[in-house]
Structure 1
Amino acid sequence: MNFTKIILAFCVILIISPTLNAQTKKIKRPKNRVGVTSVDNFVQESFDLYDKVYKYDGYAASGQSLDDDDIDVLEEALDEMSSLSESAPDILNDLDGVGVLKQGKATLQMNKAKKALKYSIKTAKELLLGQRERKTENEDNNSKSDEDLDDEVSNIENNNDDTIKNANTNVSDGLEVYSKYDFVPGDKPIFFDDFTNDFIGDLPSKWNTNGSGNIVKFNKVEDNWFELKAGYRLFAIPDINQLPEDYTIEFDLLTSGLSNQTSSGTRLFIILSDANTFTQGESSYVSISIPLGQYAPFDIDAYNFFDNQNGMINSGLSADIRDEIKNQPHIAISVTKKRYRLWVNEVKYVDIPRFIEKLNILNYLKFHVYGLADGEERVFIKNVKVAEGGIDLRRKLMSEGKISTNGILFNSGSANIQPQSLGIVRQISQVLMQDNSIKLNIVGHTDSDGPDDSNLKLSKDRAEAVKNALVSIYNISSDRLTTNGKGETEPVADNGTADGKAQNRRVEFIKI
């Protein structure tokens, strides 16, 4: 037996004891391939090596000594990992010319693979040298490094330079995971704000606040964003003065600067209130708070308060959403009379049947951020949409033979379906599955922004994208679906306002 290996094995044995902390939580291997060969190979090889090292780290954590063969495997893996790590920058060059959805998916998977490699190299060296220092699960289990995040959402500028442009991509890229997503947005718009009509640096025109907040633009993230300022009893309130019994709320969330140092009390509160005041409410309100801390998984908190008394709900709902919080999640809320549901991306985390104890008194929506480190940690929102709901699109399509919805969203100027729109597509698929004789014509409509001919083509492409989603994700026969586009020629609302444009961007399903 090689003397060096004996020494290494002896060192490994010395550092192992039953009192060691538990092994760090395993990083999940991506389920789906990106479709870029170099990226897919890098991710696969990284996680193959990661699985080896993680196994031997588990042996050490449980008190099992490593033998000669184990050490040989670790030495070989270390050489391979070092070589693989050096190839990562070159692989990123292969993303040039690839569609934006595929770029985003590839970047996320590369970052996860690099994180796995970083853990593997460090752990393999420590195991071989007998110097394995165990961190807690929370210290090791971060979704991205600060450098990754800073590269993604830094450099706020007052112009459009270097903004990522949309490109044609495979319609099913990134959508499969949303195939069982059951959120369906309301069908009658109440409020919509994408901040496109606001000036950079100003407070958005359709909002009020008792502190501050401003519109910003990033050089690597699309569109205008509203920065929510944190503070004690500091609220941002959209211009809504009446909410029905059944409605939905949606918005995109972006964070910057969050890290292991972010306070455990750092949260985004979404409040439904009985008063248009800079308080939670006069006598009644409900509040859901989304945790922003990164060093541990924190609960989503739910609390209700009615008639100046604590309500029945004061609960913490388990949710490890640290990865989502740092990767621009879509938040969706559905209020159906007393029932309250909340989704983060495709996952439903809140479903409380009697959260709204009294109907028709909570008419105001408020946002409140608390606990951010000033100048370091930041929170932004965009595409805030509130819409009246209550209509089951499946029943309406079956009874009336036609439905129109603006709940299927696309990336600006493109036919790329936003994944959170699949709740509606899923309902359409259920109608088609229930009755095999039904055939549908899918018709796309746009707002008036852009040239007429471009909008006509875009509307046709969007209708075709919906058809492709029904075929590729829900296995509907393409023979049962036809498509058409009307461009901007059949508006249903005023194209001079953001609300009107949102209503005009719609998709119709017509039985044929």
Structure 2
Amino acid sequence: MEYKSIYSKPLLTCFLFLFILPLSHAQTKKIKRPKSSVGISSVDNFVRESFDIYDKVYKYDGYAAAGTPLDDEDIDVLEEALEDLSILSDSAPDILSDLDGQNVLKQGKATLQINRAKKALKYSIKTAKELLLGERKRKEEKDNKTDTSEDSDNNSSSTEDSGNTKDTNNSEEEANSNISDNLEILSKYDFVPGDKLLFFDDFSQDFIGDFPSKWNTNGSGEVVKTNKAEGNWFQLKSGYGIKYLPLIDDKLPEEYTIEFDILTKGVGSPTSSTARLYIVLDDNNGFSDGRTNALVTIPFGQYGAFGIQVRNTDPSDKKINATLTADIRKAVINKPHISIAVNKKRFRLWVNEKKYVDIPQLIYDPASIGYLKFNLYGFKDGEEFIFIQNLKIAEGGVDLRRKLLSEGKISTNGILFDSGSSNIQTQSYGIIRQISQVLMQDESIKLKIVGHTDSDGGDNTNMALSKARAEAVKQALVKVYKIDKSRLISDGKGESEPVGDNSTTEGKAQNRRVEFIKQ
């Protein structure tokens, strides 16, 4: 007993320290179930139940690695397992109190088994969520380490943004992905942004923590930075009747485009099926709903495919109130780009490169409907977050082909590149597609492609960047649309020929452009 009184508390403190160390989420080899029990019922039950669920999840993980799709019964098992995992994980700290009064050897064995069970729980929770979302890919093991020993714990420093390593570690891969990946999808992407900029906000001119200066609301929101993505982002707040209005000078024309990026945090399996971003086109620029409007809602719930809702207030028997089948669960949590084209009564919406909505008369009264509003609803306060960036509204977006043929020259700021890079963003391929169609229609046409930048950065840097961007567009025409490269030449003018005020966000956006000139 004297031995216990001298050493049990320091050793227990050590075991507790081991227990709370961060544990690795990634598993490449199966964690071994302990062969013997501890003799403490709460510990033995916790370990047994943890590994019972772990074995199920690991089996389905093997299916994913083999490319075997899950059926409805498998999904039900995983959903039930995820609920049980949450309960078990919450109960883990309470089990420690049951170690008091036990001899030091039993305390040590119990702590090691709890550590191993906790590791299995972490793996199971993460993997079950990924399997249910269709995102699971078994990582290849890079060394010969395993997680099977009873007295070892492979610690890793993980953060909530650790899954976003693509932004920082795969620059070489990204440099080539704009042309060589998903060529068939890119070649069919038909969104064309407007060519007359009406509004642009990337929140770069706003102070962190402030409400953005070019917006209005009857609620709250703030500009933030996040380590998941570059730049400033506008955090919207969820709530009933809360509206966010970009301060556009005039009513929108009858033909225009809207584009913006979305970033999420905390959105997962518990997210409600009612969690949606409402994009409203209304007859007024206030916080009340107009009598004449049309809207679309983007779903964020992750435990089911909830569809895109479309509605309008048409008083006739042509009123629209429908939900379009669309499984965009994976897209909405991976920084999607949203594109909308309004051409009088016609309304189209793309999520990344895929068109989900194309309704010929959703905007049933174009003369009245001309104001943009955002509303966020169904998100848990302080747990689930939605941010937007790069809101761009532009007049036009109809057909650049006729203008190029008739005038021999077009200029567009709708071809977007990664910041400081010549990597073409995929949402730009609608314009490049139209240029390719002109070249395919008349094989005698030759084009000069000229890149322009804003004034950020040095003159020499901007000159080189503008030339690289023009060359990237040329290569996209050659590799994606199979245009003979001898018909294309590229050049760059840097910041030397501005068309907008480089001291403003809108002016800079206008200056970042690409020209196509018939030769």
TM-score with structure 1 length normalisation? 0.70
Tell me, in whole angstroms, the C-alpha distance in 2 between the residues paired with 1:114 and 1:217: 26
Asked if the contact 2:214/2:247 (under 8 Å) is kept, the reply is yes
The structure-2 alpha-carbon separation of the partners of 1:258 and 1:231, relative to structure 1 and needing over 3 Å to count, comes to same
Partner of 1:386: 393
Tell me, in whole angstroms, the C-alpha distance in 2 between the residues paired with 1:164 and 1:202: 31
Partner of 1:315: 322
Partner of 1:102: none
Tell whether 2:253 aligns with 1:244: yes
Partner of 1:275: 284
Q: Deviations over 1:77-114 (max 9, x none)?
A: xxxxxxxxxxxxxxxxxxxxxxxxxxxxxxxx999998
Asked if the contact 2:274/2:299 (under 8 Å) is kept, the reply is yes
Partner of 2:222: 214
Q: Map 1:71-470 to 2 at 5 A.
A: 115-117=136-138, 150-152=161-163, 169-170=175-176, 171-174=178-181, 176=183, 177-240=185-248, 241-281=250-290, 283-306=291-314, 312-389=319-396, 391-470=398-477
1:318: Cα distance to partner?
0.6
The structure-2 alpha-carbon separation of the partners of 1:174 and 1:216, relative to structure 1 and needing over 3 Å to count, comes to farther
3-state SS, counterpart of residue 223 of structure 1: strand
Name the stretch that deviates more: 415-424 or 391-400.
Answer: 391-400
1:175: Cα distance to partner?
5.5
1:235: Cα distance to partner?
0.9
1:361: Cα distance to partner?
1.3
> Partner amino acid for 1:245?
E
Tell me, in whole angstroms, the C-alpha distance in 1 between the residues paired with 2:69 and 2:391: 44
Asked if the contact 1:152/1:221 (under 8 Å) is kept, the reply is no
1:198: Cα distance to partner?
0.8
> Partner amino acid for 1:169?
A
The structure-2 alpha-carbon separation of the partners of 1:321 and 1:111, relative to structure 1 and needing over 3 Å to count, comes to closer
Q: Deviations over 1:208-227 (max 9, x none)?
A: 11111111111231111111
3-state SS, counterpart of residue 348 of structure 1: strand
Tell me, in whole angstroms, the C-alpha distance in 1 between the residues paired with 2:379 and 2:502: 38
> Partner amino acid for 1:230?
S
The structure-2 alpha-carbon separation of the partners of 1:165 and 1:306, relative to structure 1 and needing over 3 Å to count, comes to same
Tell whether 2:502 aligns with 1:503: no
Tell me, in whole angstroms, the C-alpha distance in 1 between the residues paired with 2:169 and 2:65: 33
Q: Deviations over 1:280-310 (max 9, x none)?
A: 32x2111100111000001100110157x89
Q: Deviations over 1:425-473 (max 9, x none)?
A: 0001111111111110000000111111111111000000000111111
Asked if the contact 2:218/2:244 (under 8 Å) is kept, the reply is yes
Alignment equivalent of 1:50, drawn from 44, 62, 66: 66
Partner of 1:79: none
The structure-2 alpha-carbon separation of the partners of 1:166 and 1:430, relative to structure 1 and needing over 3 Å to count, comes to same
1:357: Cα distance to partner?
1.2
Asked if the contact 2:306/2:325 (under 8 Å) is kept, the reply is yes
Q: Which runs of 5+ in 2 are unaligned?
A: 1-56, 78-129, 140-157
> Partner amino acid for 2:461?
S
Asked if the contact 1:166/1:411 (under 8 Å) is kept, the reply is no
What root-mean-square deviation, in Å, do the aligned CA atoms of Structure 1 and Structure 2 show?
Answer: 3.2
> Partner amino acid for 1:180?
K
3-state SS, counterpart of residue 394 of structure 2: strand
1:278: Cα distance to partner?
1.1
Tell me, in whole angstroms, the C-alpha distance in 1 between the residues paired with 2:487 and 2:475: 12
Tell me, in whole angstroms, the C-alpha distance in 1 between the residues paired with 2:462 and 2:137: 44
3-state SS, counterpart of residue 355 of structure 1: coil
Name the stretch that deviates more: 396-405 or 162-171.
Answer: 162-171
Q: Which runs of 5+ in 1 are unaligned?
A: 1-23, 28-44, 62-108, 119-146, 155-161
1:166: Cα distance to partner?
6.4
Tell me, in whole angstroms, the C-alpha distance in 2 between the residues paired with 1:390 and 1:216: 31
1:276: Cα distance to partner?
1.4
Tell me, in whole angstroms, the C-alpha distance in 2 between the residues paired with 1:54 and 1:163: 32
The structure-2 alpha-carbon separation of the partners of 1:195 and 1:311, relative to structure 1 and needing over 3 Å to count, comes to farther
Tell me, in whole angstroms, the C-alpha distance in 2 between the residues paired with 1:310 and 1:210: 33
Asked if the contact 1:149/1:326 (under 8 Å) is kept, the reply is no
Asked if the contact 1:216/1:226 (under 8 Å) is kept, the reply is yes
Asked if the contact 2:257/2:339 (under 8 Å) is kept, the reply is yes
The structure-2 alpha-carbon separation of the partners of 1:250 and 1:49, relative to structure 1 and needing over 3 Å to count, comes to closer
1:336: Cα distance to partner?
0.3
Partner of 1:476: 483
Asked if the contact 1:272/1:364 (under 8 Å) is kept, the reply is yes
> Partner amino acid for 1:217?
K
Q: Deviations over 1:303-334 (max 9, x none)?
A: 10157x89610111110000101111110000
> Partner amino acid for 1:287?
L
Tell me, in whole angstroms, the C-alpha distance in 1 between the residues paired with 2:412 and 2:393: 14
Tell me, in whole angstroms, the C-alpha distance in 2 between the residues paired with 1:52 and 1:189: 47
Name the stretch that deviates more: 251-260 or 331-340.
Answer: 251-260
The structure-2 alpha-carbon separation of the partners of 1:376 and 1:173, relative to structure 1 and needing over 3 Å to count, comes to farther
The structure-2 alpha-carbon separation of the partners of 1:208 and 1:49, relative to structure 1 and needing over 3 Å to count, comes to closer
The structure-2 alpha-carbon separation of the partners of 1:174 and 1:46, relative to structure 1 and needing over 3 Å to count, comes to farther
The structure-2 alpha-carbon separation of the partners of 1:313 and 1:391, relative to structure 1 and needing over 3 Å to count, comes to closer
Q: Deviations over 1:193-217 (max 9, x none)?
A: 0111111111111001111111111
Tell me, in whole angstroms, the C-alpha distance in 1 between the residues paired with 2:377 and 2:164: 21
Q: Deviations over 1:23-79 (max 9, x none)?
A: x9xx9xxxxxxxxxxxxxxxxx98895136969x99xx9xxxxxxxxxxxxxxxxxx
Tell me, in whole angstroms, the C-alpha distance in 2 between the residues paired with 1:371 and 1:53: 31
Asked if the contact 1:339/1:356 (under 8 Å) is kept, the reply is yes
1:253: Cα distance to partner?
0.8
TM-score with structure 2 length normalisation? 0.69
Asked if the contact 1:249/1:333 (under 8 Å) is kept, the reply is yes
Tell me, in whole angstroms, the C-alpha distance in 2 between the residues paired with 1:52 and 1:445: 48
> Partner amino acid for 1:238?
P
Report which of the two structures shows the higher radius of gyration computed on alpha carbons.
2
